[in-house]
Structure 1
Amino acid sequence: MRRRYCALRATRLTAPRAPPTVRRSYTPARYLEPRLRLRPILVIPLVLLVCAACARDPDVPAAEDASPAAATGSVTISAQEAGAAALSWQRPRVALDEEDGDEVAQARERAGEALDSGDLYEGEDAAIPLYLALLERDPEDGDARRGLNAARARLIALGDEALAQSGDDPDALRNAHRVAAVARDVWPQDKQTQAYLQRVDRADHLWELNRLAEADLAQDRLGESGDGALPKLREALELAPGQPRAMQNLAAVESALIRRAENAAASGDFDSAGQWLEHAAVLRPEIATVPDARERIARMRTLRIARLRDQGVAALAGEDGIAQARARLAELLSIAEPGDPAAVDLRERIDLAVHYGLFRPGQVFTDALGSGGRGPRMVVIPHGAFTMGAPANEPGSTDSERPQRNIRFDRGFAMAVTEVTVGEYRRFVNATGYQTRSARRGFSMVYDERSGNFVRRSNVDWRHDHIGALAADNTPVLHASAVDAAAYADWLSEQSGHRYRLPSEAEFEYALRAGTGTAFPWGDGREVPDGVGNLTGGNDRSPSGRQWSNAFPGYGDGYWGPAPVASFVANRWGVHDLAGNVSEWVADCWHDNYRRAPADATPWVNPGCRTHVIRGGSWASAPGQARSAWRTPAQRDTTNARLGFRVVRDL
C-alpha cells in the first residue's frame, strides 16, 4: 500500500507536464544545475524526495508517470537545435503485479536480456525502466540494483562513445544528449553522471564554437586581429587539444589567410602578402603549408619583377618612354629586395636612355641608309663634364683658348670612329651628284714634295690625296670645305632618319681629351707614346728625305701625309685620330675667345658667318697644334691637304 501511494504520488506530480522545447545554453556545466533553467526537470528531484520518504531504500529511484502518454517513454529535442539541445527523458511506466512472482521473474529476465543487447532506455522492455520497476517493487532487490548499476555503466560508456564521435557528427551529439537526459533523470546526484554531464557540456561548447567559427569563415571573418573564427577555434582547442573539427577549421583559416596572401601578391602588394603569411605561419607551424606558400609567392614576386623590368625596357622605345619606364621601376622597387638585379638593370637602362637613348657608352654601330649600304661607324661618347680650353700657364696656348669653362654633357652623343673616308664621301656624291667647292673652282691646296710647301694645284678635289694623286678609299677625304662637310652630314640625316651634323668645338675637345686634363691627350710633355697617332715626328722622312723642322723629338709614325683611317690606336673612348692624321672642321663660327660662349656644348654659331673653327692636329701640324685645346680659324670655303672632317649623331 505504501508503494502504491508513492507511485500514485509520482503520477500526480509528473503527468500534467509535457516535454518542453529546450533551447541550448552554453554556460559551462549547465547540467549541474538543471533547476535554474529547465522547469520540467524539477519533477525529478521532487519525485525522488517523495519516494525516498516512502521507499525502504532511499537510494532506489522512484517510479514515474504511469499515464498513457508516459507509458512508452520519450526523449524530446527541439527541431531547431540540431544535435546540441538539452533533452528531457520521460521514463516508460512498467506495471508489475506485486503478488505475481512469475511476472516479476519475467521482468528480471527481460531486463537482463535488454542489458545484454544494449537496449537500455527506450520503451517498456528496456533495461533501465525494467530495473527501476523492480526496485520500486522491492528496494532490497539486490539483483535489480546490480543490473541497474551495470545499465548505468553501459549507458555512460554508450554516451562516451557518442561523445567521441560528436565533434562533427550531429547524430552522435544527439545520442550523447539522450544518454545525458536518461542519466540526469535516473542518477542526478551520481558523480559519474555529473562528470558525464560536464563532458556533454564541453562537447556542446565545442560544437557551438566550431559552428560559430564556420559561420565566421563563411563570411571571411578570419579573426586574425581578434574578432572572427580564430579566437573561437583557439578556445575550442584549449578545451580539447587536437580536436579534429577545430583543427580542420584552423586549417581552413590558414588556407584563407594564404589565399589572401596570394591575392595580394597577384595585385603586386607583397607587403600585405607577407603580413597574411605571418598570420598564417603561427597557426600550424609543424605543417609545411605556409613555407610552400612562401615559395609560391616568392616565385610570383620574381615573375612580377621580371615582367615589370621587361615592361620598363619596352616602354623606353615608345613615346614618353622614360617616364613610363620610371613608373615601372618605382613599382618594381616597391616589391624587390635591395640590389635586385632586375631593378639594377632597369635603372641602368633608364639612365642609358636618359643619356644615350637606346645605346650604351662605348657602343659602336652603323645606321642603314635609304639608298642602300650603311653609314659611317659611330661610337657612343659617354655623358659627363670637362674643363674646356687651356689654362694661362699652358705652353703654346693663346688667349683664343680662354677663358676656361666647365661644360657638362647631360646626354651622350655618337661620334664617327674615324674621319670620313674617300669611299664614304664617294657614295654621297654618287647618290646626289653633289659638286664640292674644290670641284667647282677646279683647284685645291696640296703638298709639294719638291719645295716642301703647300701649293695650289688645279684639278684637285675630294677624290685626291695630299699630293694631288687619286686617293685610296680608306684614307680621309681631303679638299672638302666646311660647306661640303655639312652637306654630307645633311645627306646622312636624310638617308638614316637620324640627325647627323658636324661636331661642336666642345664635343670635339671633350672626345679628344677623353677624360684627361693635360695639355696633350697623352700627357703634358712632348714625349709621345709609340703609335699614338700620325703626327709630325722627328723621325719622319718624306719620299725625298725631307724631315720636319719643328717636330716631336724621337717620334716617328711612318707616314708623310695622311694615313689610312684607324691606322693608330683609338683613345680610351674608341675614337681614332682626333689629335693627328688630318685637322677637322667643326660646326662653330670663329670667335677670338670663349667670352659669352654658350654655357652648354652647343655650337657657337652666328648667322651668315664665313669663318669657322678647325680643331685637332694633322700629319703636317706643329707639335703645339696637337694640344687638346688648340683651335684656329679658317674661311668656310677653305680646302687643302691637311683638312678633313668627321660627323657626330644625336642619340
Structure 2
Amino acid sequence: MRGVFRIIVVALLLAGCSRSPGEAARDEPADDAPALREGIVTVSGDDAVSETLTWRAPAVEIPADGVDDVLERAGEALQAGNLAIDAGSAVPLYMALSKAAPDDARVRDGLRRALAAVIARGDAALAQAGDDISALREAHQMAAVARAVDGDDKAVLGYLERIDQADTLWDLNREGELALADGDYGEDGGGALAKFREALKLAPGQPRAMQGLAATESAMIRNAEIAADKADFEGAKRWLVAAAKIRPEMSTVPDAAARVERQRSARVARLRDLGVAALAQPDGLEQARRRLAEVLLIALPGDPAAADLRERIDLAEHYGQFRPGQQFTDGLKNGARGPQMVVVPHGAFYMGATKDDDQATDLERPRHPIRFARGLAMSITEVTVGDFRRFINATGRQTRAERRGYSMAYDERSGNFVRMSGVDWRSDYAGNPATDDLPVLHVSARDAEAYAEWLSEQSGHAYRLPSEAEFEYALRAGGATPYPWGTGAPPKGSGNYTGAKDRSPTGRHWNNAFDGYGDGFWGPAPAGRFDANAWQVRDLAGNVSEWVADCWHDGYRRAPSDGTAWLNPGCRTRVVRGGSWASAPVQTRSSWRAPAGVDSTNGRIGFRVVREI
C-alpha cells in the first residue's frame, strides 16, 4: 500500500477516556499536524480515508414497560454479530437499557458481553492489520465503540494499547518501505533497515517487517547483479557484503554471490566470443586485442577464456577466409555449382527446452550449454529436387524409395499419409511430379549423407549433414524463445507452417494449427520462398522437417557439449529436426525433436547440408 498513513488515532482515542459515553472528543491538533475536523483522522495516498474517532450511540427510546422487549432485541442483535451499526445494534440497545434500568443485572451482563464482542472483533481485525489498512481502520472503529461504552475498563485500555502498537508498527513499516522505494537501504546505518529492525524489536517476527528485511536484502543483491552486468565486480562485492549482514542465517547471499561469479564467467566468455568474432572481420585484430584487455580487467587469474582469446589473436594473421553472414557457393568438378551457403557465426547457446516450457517433454531436456569454437557454413535452404537431380545424374544412385518401390505420401481423400507405389525423390508430398525448386522429399538419412559425400568429392571441401546442435543453434539464431519468432502465432511471411487459414485442394483444414495464420501452401513451398532468419537461413522451422547427423537418444544427458553430432556405431534411428508444412504447432518449437528410422522416407522430411570452414 502506497502513501503516508498519518494516524493520530491513539492519542485521540486515549485522550478523554474518562468522558461519559456520549461526550465528543475535542482534542486540538498539534501545530505541525494537518488540519482536522473534529474526530477525523486523515490518511493520504492510496490509503486515504476519513474515519471518525468517536462513536455516539444512536438514540434509542425505551418505553417504561418495554425493557424486556428491548433486552430481547439486544440479545438477538448480539447473537447475530450486529454490534454497533445502527439503533437496532446490540451496543446502542444495551447502553440505552443501562440508563433505563441501571440496576438490572441482565442489562449489565448484556453490556459486558457486547463490550467483549467489540474487543474480540477489534482484535480479529488487528490480527490482519499488519499490511491491510482496511483491517486497521476496522480495529480503530471498534476502539471508538469500546471507548464509548467504558473508556476506563481495563480490557478497553489494554485494547487501546494494542491499537497503539499496531499504529506504530504500521508507521515503521511504511517508513521503511518508502525508504526502500527511494533507494535508502541503510547499508551504512539508518534507512529502511533501521525502520524494519525497530519494528521487529517491537514485535519480533512480525511478517511485514520480515518481508521488508527480505526485500531490502533482495534490493542490495539486485544492485550487486546490476554492478556485475556493468562489469563492476568490486562494486558487486561491496553490495553483497552489506546484504550478508541482514539475514546471515539464510543462503540467499551466498547463492547470489555464485550467480555474480557466473555473470563474471559469462561476461568473460562473451568478451572472448566478441574477440573471436572480430578476428573474422577485416582489420579486426585491434578490436580483438581490446576485447582481450577487457577480459583481463575482470577475469580471475588463470581464466581459460582469456588464454584462448590470446592464442586466437596470435593465430589471426595466418587464419580465416570467411566472415559471419558471408554467402557463397562452391564450384563442382562437373562444372555445376553447389547449394548456396551462408556462414553461421560461432558462439554459444543453451540447447533444449526450458523448465517452464509446458509443451516440452523430457526428450528435449536437460537444457544444456553448447559452445561452437568455429563458425560453419549452412545451406540457406533445404536441398532442392534440382540439386538432388544433379547428384543422381552424376552418380546413378538409386535411392531407398526407388529400390523398394514406394514411399509415404499425403492422400488428399483421407487426409492421411499412406504408402504409395512409385513415389521417390522425383515426387512431391502427394506423389505427383515435383518441380526442381521444391525441397527434395522421400529421401532417407543415408540418401542425404550420400549426397553430402558427393558434394565433398566434387568441391574438395567437407560437406555433411548438420549436427542436431548446429541445427537448433542456426534455427534459434541468437534467440532463446519457445518458437524461433518468440511466442504466439508466427509473423506473416515467416514460414510454411500449419495455419488455421490454410486449405487443401479440396478444402480440408488443420484441426491443430496456429490461430489466424495462413501461408498459402498446403504441402511444401518452393525452397527459400519465406523470410530468412537473423542469420540469413531460411525454412529451418517450417516447410519440411530435416534429417540431422545424430543418432537418436532419449534426452541430452551425456550429450556432446561442443556441438558435434552424437553418434553410435551402426545406429538405426536418427534425429529429425524442425517443423514441416504438416506439423502441429508444438512440433514447430525451437527445441522439438523426433526419432525416425534411418531408412524412412515420406512427404514431410528433407534435408540441408553444412560445410566445414
Q: Report the TM-score when normalising by structure 1.
A: 0.46
Structure 1 or 2, whichever has the larger Rg, is 1
